[in-house]
Structure 1
Amino acid sequence: MKQFGKVAVLAGGNSAEREVSLRSGAAVLQALCEQGVDAFLFDPAEQPLLELVSLNVNRAFIALHGRGGEDGQVQAVLEVLGIPYTGSGILACALTMDKSKTKALWHGMGLPTAAAATITASELSTVDCAALLARLGGKVMVKPAHEGSSIGMGMAHTADELAVALKEAARFDGDMLVETWLSGPEYTVAVLAGEALPAIKVQTPHAFYDYAAKYQDNTTQYICPAELSDEQEKQVRDLAVAAFKAVGCEGWGRVDMMMNSNGQLQLLELNTVPGMTAKSLVPMAAKQVGISFPALVLQILATTLDA
């Protein structure tokens, strides 16, 4: 695979998703090496990105999840260094890392997303939880606006529960997104080179799809094909591609959405560097259309050849 040159797989980092990122990076590295790509693991938490120049790196496969890797910072450094990289550019990464601003953009472009409010850390002591809860339908999901992997998330259907959930989310972020509760089901759609892969239906016995359901338990079910009619499958995929393009994403990513109580799809968030672990969803969707994990990794890396 000489056309790729020397490839640095960026994984680890300092975000709350470090451990997941290291697992993603290890899987990507193995797949690349098995296919003859000259690749190695590079952890920005252990060595400065500027060392990529002295290491004569030709391109980077970004497997960094969360802040410092999925928010445009690493992408900006790689741009300055002139090193092509996988995934979206600086602006799209910075935007989609902020769930509140992404929802606002989607809403402004007429794409469906649940009603929500953003509470800052400075407002915690004065927010009227009862009024906020009533405005958003009586039951809500609280999320740190700049975290992934369901870190710091909590649900609330009383004012006291909302106050607790906000304080928990504030441990991870200065902005907390409070979103109208969606009763499901939940779907996730991978987008690769502008095309949607088959939708995956996510079912968990947990109250919601939290960190344990994603990475620790074996009780979560990932159903692909997603038990949708052909028309519904097309609707889900078309919405994912529209959401992906609306924020300027490129290369690959994953769009998460749920249905509300009326059966209407509502966009949740967009991941510009989705997980690539044994339990990850993008490889599962790719497998449904005959793309093996090694082939998927190579296809993602190939998007850097035109950079």
Structure 2
Amino acid sequence: MIKKLLFAGIMAFSATMVAQTTEESTVTGKKGFYFKAGGSYFFQTVATEFPTVNGHEAKEEVYNSDGTELLSSKSITGSFGEGFRTNLGVGYRFTERLAFEMGIHYYIGNSRKMASYTNLEDGNTQVAPGVFVPTVITFQSKGQIKALDLSPSLVLNLGETKGFEPYTKVGVIVPVYGFLEIKTDATKSTTSGTKLADVYKRDVVKPNPTVGFMAALGTSYKLSGKLSLYGEVEYRNFTVHGKTKETKDYVVNGQDRLSTLPYSEIHTNYVNHLDTNSNNPETNSTGYNTNNAKDELSSYVGISGVGLTFGIRYDL
């Protein structure tokens, strides 16, 4: 059924192209290379539950002052598909209708809250020789994605009318560089409210290779013989699975304490499953080695969104 619909769509589009006529000089003049530059803002389309952060689920929870009673809880959902993108592109127009385009994009997503806990029970802490008091932790983690990607695509131009030339574009998204940065601010205090420590932690998650899909509907408007403005509405859809995580900063009361953490608390390898051979204290308590990277279950984040793009195009 899908193949029949696709074939029918291609035939209908071909018939439309044949039905439209253009002067030969115009057709010849529209062949060749062109360059594009512009900017985009994307809005998230699909909200999913964020992955765990340092072993804590993507939730917003509030406990009573001593951390023994849960007062409220809700899941945190969202996507990293909202943010700004800078675009460069080069294309080659084979005919008046058909072109190939290679886009180069740098995306900076908006910071999104991934976890928030208030008065989470943290056991007893020694505050003086032989003196232990119950403590709680309040923290919030936020994540932000930065990525560089390529987007090879086919462009179907629909014909120029009074300077406007609408087009459609479909292609794939190939990330070449990027990371998810997670920043956590935490406060450790006694159940009576005395602050013991302020903690800041910054983790960087690097992804596995992936490929996404994009489609756009746009139009250009000719300003001169070679210079045009263009605008697009673009939909993109892809997810990213984590490969590794590394703690880059760990600061306690303003002091760098990264060197005090074991190797396994700084480095993480993401895997598809955990078993008794994994370097994880929950599944392999006797064989867990703090001198090696810790194994944790892989999760994914969505970067799907709909964006508005505006820019200029120069035809050679």
TM range (shorter): under 0.3
TM-score, normalisation: structure 2: 0.24
TM-score, normalisation: structure 1: 0.25
Larger Rg: 2
By percentage of residues, which structure has more strand?
Answer: 2
By percentage of residues, which structure has more helix?
Answer: 1
